[in-house]
Structure 1
Amino acid sequence: MKSLTKTSRRDFLKIAGTSAGGLFIGFNMFSCDSPKVEVLSTEEVLAQAKSFNSYLSISPSGDVVIYSPNPELGQNIKTSFPMVVAEELEADWEKVRVLQANLDTEKYDRQLTGGSGAMPHSWERLRKAGATAKYVLIAAAAKTWNVPAEEITVEKGMISHKGSNKKGHFGEFVTEAATMTAPDDIKLKDKKDFTIIGTPVKNVDAKEMYTGKPMYGLDFYREGMLHAMVQRAPFGMKIKSVDDGAARGVNGIKDVVTFGNSVAVVGDKTWPLLKAKKLLKINYEPDGNVESSSDHEEIFRDLITNGKAEVRRKDGNVEQAFSSADQVVTAEYQCPFLAHSPMEPENFFAHVKGDKCELIGPTQTPDRARQTAAGILGIPAENVTVEITRLGGGFGRRLRADFVEEAVHISKAVNAPVKVVWDREDELTGGAYRPAVRYRFEAALDQSGTMIGYKLRGVGMNAGNSTRENNFPSGAVDHVLIENINYESSITTNAWRAPITNFLAYAEQSFLDEVALAAGKDPVQFRLELLSRAKNNPVGELGYDVDRMIGVVEAAAEKSNWGKNTDVKQGFSVYFSHRSYVAQVADIAMENGTPTLKKITAVTDCGMVVNPTGANHQVRGGIVDGMGHAMYTNLTFDNGVPKQKNYDTYRLIRMKEVPEIETHFLDTGFDPTGLGEPALPPTGGAIANAIFAATGRRLRSQPFIEQKEFSDIKLEIKRA
């Protein structure tokens, strides 16, 4: 649905239910969608369609429309989902288009975007939706032509019967098909016969994006709505008093609203709001711990050594393994808080109207937005509607609903429709960060350099479980102890792209290189030896597929010419997350005494690749994101207030710093698994291990550029 053209579900059903001549077939899936080619307008297509369900629509013109329940934030489901449906339907791709569905928990099961789970969950559902439609269309054609259904073929939206030389497009049979029922055990295509899945397809919203069509929450406008900006309390503080006199005196300010620990200025336009917000005089007082980054250093040091830990995994006799070891390797790794920094800062529209509420904007979790509004207003959830716009990024930040809360509170207070907008400094200082974490690793080696014992203790700030206890190398070592400590911080945290593994992978993979060095073994061979043990003699539960991990390790070593290129020093890393496997090799050359990152080679096993174009973009984007945050980005606090408030001090990677990236995908025959996040975790480890290979300096904290080991050298990035 177009973000600026409000059409209610009731209106749509009213149109579809009173018209005839179309087919609307659905399947209860967590997500679905499709692209657009303008022949008839979408409104014309829908006006001719008869509603069977809310997913797949075919009009008498032969146009196919698929509703997409899941929010689109750049992970490409709005292109890949319709490819799956169109594949089984045998549709003409040029006659397929997509509409964003509004929230409807009666019709959709999992209307959210997060955890790289949309395609793995919806894969079979999407296929069945297309296959079901094709089945009844064939049945309708067979009845119309009086020929056996098994003699009918379908290709690119055309239904044919060779024996009678009859042919017609989908739209000619939708009326008859609407009266028919498909079996529950519908037959799906053999993967070898796919003609759309596995082909490169451009983003279905590409034209709208590059021509500047209003699609995002920030684009949304409604006549008569007010704008609002919010000043939030520092972490660990609460409002003591508010002097809003000067702010109210700014021309264009309609009201100042205090709610909870926040103060909002409300007006006709955003420019007066920026001015008025700076004129607010707010006094705060402590409300719990008021923390600074210097406090966190002390907290980490104490807890990592003396804290009471939760045992997440224990295999074998760890104490005996370490007491009998020929050598023990120990290291600690630490990462800072990070902001999500989506290109589009948080924003949301709310209109509270008595016992009803209308919400419009970018959210990864529309039902959470609805439930949040209902809770604030004390009304039934079904009285809240949510329209989803395209999201200008999220990375986990829009899983929360704090910006929705603000819009609802303010709309209720001023009795008017309100759009809340965060500026960049609000976005960086407004909380819900990646948790800061510290890890201590220990490895016990016998005389042959075999790792016989492994310990990991994680301490995280509001991180929950900061470990992934069933991931590699668990299962490959006889004696394992993995422990977790969660510290409750006043600084709010949230899932950040590839939660926990975004740093844990770097720390684990860097430490494994340290252990390989102590064992006198090549880093790749050391990992393959461990994986061989996990395959042939696993210990305890395995949370990963050993063969798939071996596959990406061996392929990455081959594609990168591991150990054979004397012009560069190389670093290796491999990780499993979100059901997928990614191995990476970083190449660094020493130029005039400076380590220069030349290239990153990545091999991914994410099962079947639905759209090579989108998959390539996801892997490259994950690498750039992982590299940039590992190398440059830090968020520190002074008395509950972030020191880095904008991009002049919050350092992100720049385009000129992106090296050559070479991507490869393994076709292992598995159904699609996650791809939005898995390429990020291995990147930091590959680069850090390459830096060590080139300089002999081990980097155990992020960002790299702030470590003392890095203080007298410069890492340069060069493109091919």
Structure 2
Amino acid sequence: MATENNSNFSRRGFLKASSLASGGLLIGFNLFTACKQKAEMPIDISKLNFADFNAFIKIAENGMVTIFSPNPEIGQGVKTSMPMIIAEELNVAWKNVVVEQGVLDTENYTRQVAGGSQSIRFGWDALRQTGATARQMLINAAAAKWGVSASECSAKEGVITNAKGETLGYGDVVKEAALLEIPENVALKEPKDYTIIGTKAINVDIDEIVSGKPLFGLDYKEEGMVYASVLRPPAFGQELESFDATAAKNISGVVDVITIGEKARNLLNSEKPGWSVKLSSSDKVVVIANSTWAAMKGKKAIKAVWKEGTPLESTEAHDKELVKLLDGKKFRTMRSDGDVKKAFAQADKVLERTYESPFLPHNCLEPMNFFASVDDAKVRLVGPIQTPEDLATAVSTMLDRSLEDISVKMTRMGGGFGRRLYGDFAMEVAEIADVIRKPVKMVSSREDDMTTGVYRPAIKYRIKASVKNGEITGYQLKEAAVNGNMYGLIPNFFPAGAIENYQVDVASLKSNITTGAWRAPYTNFLSYAEQSFFDELAEVIEKDPVQMRLDLLQKVKGTKDDKIQYSPERLEGVINLVVEKSGYRTPKEGVYQGFCAYYCHNTHVAEVADVVMENNKPVVKNVTVAVDCGIVVNPLGAINQIEGGVVDGVGHAMYGDFKFKDGMPDSSNFGTYRLIRNSESPKVATYFVENNLSPTGLGEPTLPPAGAAVSIAITKATGNRIYKQPFTKNMVAKEIIG
């Protein structure tokens, strides 16, 4: 049985046109604003085409369906899963669907963003409405052609059937459908009737990826395009004083050497710099050449003199200042329940621990790059970006151009992990193109990416808990982070609501080192700190760590606190599932297991890591994962995201380390920066909690619990607890690290 859509759907958010040169029906649906009554209809829909309207379904007369995916594809699979949702409600065979990447459309979309694991969650209802409305239009057209009621007709895999058994393909009625009124209150399918959602769909780009066809920003080329390589300050806090480009200009292939920076500074001084705030305020030297190789070679030949603009910082100094912040009183309290001071004063026992994490680079496989072409009529931007709308707005401000002059075409991204939220590299090429007035692509080297990038901030957490009569009576979390880290939701994650006296305080150490979102922002390290602390706290109160969490969750059930973000029932569900599937209660001989349960990015996850001792060193062998993310749209893509998040979380917790000295990073390439290797990657077994709840994110939620589960398992294997990442450099027992 179908369900009627009860969303506040506006007919004006759904557009159709039949004037395609190739024939067929063009159905446009405002995916993220269709539920708003103020969604405006274009003045003349007959002029809609591929170039200026991307949020649509195109149905050809041969029955083939093209679905344009609006959000940036960063490897999280939305270019496959979002069209799957439309195709499901459209009732078309997935094999007859062609998916294409949409362009930025600020008129009709909101949140064309790849970040926060939110694309499917935010798009779920509107995407379903897109397909269902298109399906009903086609059924209505077929019914009119047969002279029967639409209620007597049904659609399956692109074929409409009436009560007599007569059939028409979608392509047979596509022209008639274009002339009909857009229906309201269309029926949405019940989950039990899904035929596409919940099936394993291969990545729609896989053939192009494995065959090396152009998909990524690095692949993009245009006639007459030149290449740019940017020389940025070698240390954070430095500014360009002078340079000599004589040697660079003598290199074969180098076309010109210019400087940029003035327009970027104007943007930084504007009221709304957006994500582009990560731009350096220094002038930069840019080598223009007819190849990437010549441009990079020319950059190395530049003789530049740099002056110190602000103090040059070092990791050692940061560590001392962060400790001062933890010891001080200049905190911002983000949540305060009860009276933690009183709870600590009356406690039988107080446990206090400090956890530390380093800076981390993003290290996307595809280095930062972007294309720009600027002339008096148009500013065209093409490349891998997680925040295309913000980029367009920032370029408009920086170049003093109308927003209507700016177009952004998104390419597939070879990794992002938060780095491509920040459009600094795209802003640079826009400024370059405005100076030289030629189509140009800026390409960074691995060294550029690692030494002049945006980093996960170094953080210290101090966690304190009080125990009275064997019960947890108070809990205080203090955070000190370089450039700040916390934001409003995290103080309302577990254990908020479960402990009567509960307080979260944050403090920030200002730094000129650019920091920002790194995969699973804020929670990527916090989970390890809090969950490791909970394991030790369970030991103090002599309670099973799993049972301790389950008992705390009982106190949150039925809460009327609408600030609480997690569901105690759903968190309890993944805990019970992972305990069952991992054999946590009965581990094999020689296997040490660490347990962690965590909620972030709207998804509940529990993990158990299996560690064994090999050559007197702990080795992570397996990780069992239980996930409650609601309806799983594409199980194949979901498992890929889950396993990737776990391996990434294990790898960075075990090995990731990055330091600064006098404002300069201590690593510039993979030769000195340790990443997890294939042979070190654990086997991951994934289990889903099955329900019919709306889907939530999967790109990030499995990363945070991985580090905690591994650290707890290592503690069981070695007898020593770890309070600092990376684990391999901070295990206490000398025989383990020796």
**TM-score, normalised via structure 2 length:** 0.90
In the other structure, the counterpart of 2:92 is 91
Q: Unmatched 5+ residue regions in structure 1?
A: 1-12, 33-45, 716-720
Q: Are the aligned partners of 1:22 and 1:51 in contact in 2 as well (CA < 8 Å)? A: no
Coordinate RMSD, CA, aligned: 2.3
Matched, 1:634 2:636: no
Match of 1:586 among 609, 612, 626: 609
In the other structure, the counterpart of 2:110 is 109
Question: How do 1:27-426 and structure 2 match up within 5 A?
Answer: 27-30=29-32, 54-163=55-164, 165-233=165-233, 234-260=235-261, 261=282, 262-426=284-448
Query: CA offset at residue 593 of structure 1?
Result: 3.4
Moved more, 506-515 or 410-419: 410-419
Match of 2:710 among 670, 684, 687: 687
In the other structure, the counterpart of 1:9 is none
Q: Are the aligned partners of 1:227 and 1:421 in contact in 2 as well (CA < 8 Å)? A: yes
Query: CA offset at residue 151 of structure 1?
Result: 1.5
Query: CA offset at residue 708 of structure 1?
Result: 5.0
Q: Are the aligned partners of 1:19 and 1:49 in contact in 2 as well (CA < 8 Å)? A: no
Query: CA offset at residue 16 of structure 1?
Result: 6.8
In the other structure, the counterpart of 2:582 is 560
- Deviations for 1:335-389, whole angstroms, at most 9, x for unmatched residues? 1111111111100011111252111111111112212222221111110111111
Q: Are the aligned partners of 1:425 and 1:646 in contact in 2 as well (CA < 8 Å)? A: yes
In the other structure, the counterpart of 2:478 is 457
Which residue type is aligned with residue 210 of structure 1?
Answer: V
What CA distance in whole angstroms lies between the structure 2 residues aligned with 1:646 and 1:180? 60
What CA distance in whole angstroms lies between the structure 2 residues aligned with 1:562 and 1:160? 53
Relative to structure 1, the CA distance from residue 604 to residue 646 in structure 2 (aligned partners, 3 Å threshold; closer, same or farther) is same
Which residue type is aligned with residue 416 of structure 2?
Answer: G
Matched, 1:503 2:525: yes
What CA distance in whole angstroms lies between the structure 1 residues aligned with 2:562 and 2:462? 22
Query: CA offset at residue 27 of structure 1?
Result: 2.0
Which residue type is aligned with residue 349 of structure 1?
Answer: F
- Deviations for 1:519-556, whole angstroms, at most 9, x for unmatched residues? 11111111111111222677784221110000001111
**TM-score, normalised via structure 1 length:** 0.92
Query: CA offset at residue 109 of structure 1?
Result: 2.0
In the other structure, the counterpart of 1:17 is 19
Moved more, 679-688 or 396-405: 396-405
Q: Are the aligned partners of 2:54 and 2:68 in contact in 1 as well (CA < 8 Å)? A: no
Moved more, 274-283 or 485-494: 274-283
Moved more, 178-187 or 51-60: 51-60
Q: Secondary structure at the match of 2:528?
A: helix
Relative to structure 1, the CA distance from residue 344 to residue 31 in structure 2 (aligned partners, 3 Å threshold; closer, same or farther) is farther
Relative to structure 1, the CA distance from residue 569 to residue 509 in structure 2 (aligned partners, 3 Å threshold; closer, same or farther) is same
Query: CA offset at residue 15 of structure 1?
Result: 11
Which residue type is aligned with residue 334 of structure 1?
Answer: E
Q: Secondary structure at the match of 2:92?
A: coil
What CA distance in whole angstroms lies between the structure 2 residues aligned with 1:152 and 1:18? 27
Which residue type is aligned with residue 199 of structure 1?
Answer: T
Q: Secondary structure at the match of 2:619?
A: strand
Q: Are the aligned partners of 1:30 and 1:122 in contact in 2 as well (CA < 8 Å)? A: yes
In the other structure, the counterpart of 2:6 is none
Relative to structure 1, the CA distance from residue 175 to residue 693 in structure 2 (aligned partners, 3 Å threshold; closer, same or farther) is same
Q: Are the aligned partners of 1:17 and 1:51 in contact in 2 as well (CA < 8 Å)? A: no
What CA distance in whole angstroms lies between the structure 1 residues aligned with 2:49 and 2:120? 30
Moved more, 208-217 or 365-374: 365-374
In the other structure, the counterpart of 2:39 is none
What CA distance in whole angstroms lies between the structure 1 residues aligned with 2:442 and 2:633? 37
Relative to structure 1, the CA distance from residue 167 to residue 540 in structure 2 (aligned partners, 3 Å threshold; closer, same or farther) is closer
- Deviations for 1:401-455, whole angstroms, at most 9, x for unmatched residues? 111111112112222111000011111112211111110000101122x111000
Query: CA offset at residue 466 of structure 1?
Result: 6.2
Match of 1:435 among 445, 452, 457: 457
Relative to structure 1, the CA distance from residue 624 to residue 20 in structure 2 (aligned partners, 3 Å threshold; closer, same or farther) is closer
What CA distance in whole angstroms lies between the structure 2 residues aligned with 1:635 and 1:343? 18
In the other structure, the counterpart of 2:270 is none
Query: CA offset at residue 166 of structure 1?
Result: 1.0
Query: CA offset at residue 276 of structure 1?
Result: 1.8
Query: CA offset at residue 252 of structure 1?
Result: 1.5
Relative to structure 1, the CA distance from residue 223 to residue 478 in structure 2 (aligned partners, 3 Å threshold; closer, same or farther) is same
What CA distance in whole angstroms lies between the structure 2 residues aligned with 1:296 and 1:707? 18
Query: CA offset at residue 30 of structure 1?
Result: 3.8
Q: Are the aligned partners of 2:718 and 2:733 in contact in 1 as well (CA < 8 Å)? A: no
Q: Secondary structure at the match of 1:573?
A: strand
Relative to structure 1, the CA distance from residue 539 to residue 135 in structure 2 (aligned partners, 3 Å threshold; closer, same or farther) is closer
- Deviations for 1:627-651, whole angstroms, at most 9, x for unmatched residues? 1111111111111111110001111
In the other structure, the counterpart of 2:276 is none
Q: Are the aligned partners of 2:68 and 2:83 in contact in 1 as well (CA < 8 Å)? A: no
What CA distance in whole angstroms lies between the structure 2 residues aligned with 1:361 and 1:134? 34
Query: Taking every aligned residue pair, what percent have the same amino acid on both sides?
Result: 44
Query: CA offset at residue 236 of structure 1?
Result: 1.1
Which residue type is aligned with residue 147 of structure 2?
Answer: N
What CA distance in whole angstroms lies between the structure 2 residues aligned with 1:389 and 1:706? 38
What CA distance in whole angstroms lies between the structure 1 residues aligned with 2:18 and 2:460? 56
Query: CA offset at residue 50 of structure 1?
Result: 14
Which residue type is aligned with residue 597 of structure 1?
Answer: V
Q: Are the aligned partners of 2:578 and 2:624 in contact in 1 as well (CA < 8 Å)? A: yes
In the other structure, the counterpart of 2:499 is 477
What CA distance in whole angstroms lies between the structure 1 residues aligned with 2:153 and 2:557? 47
Q: Are the aligned partners of 1:52 and 1:178 in contact in 2 as well (CA < 8 Å)? A: no
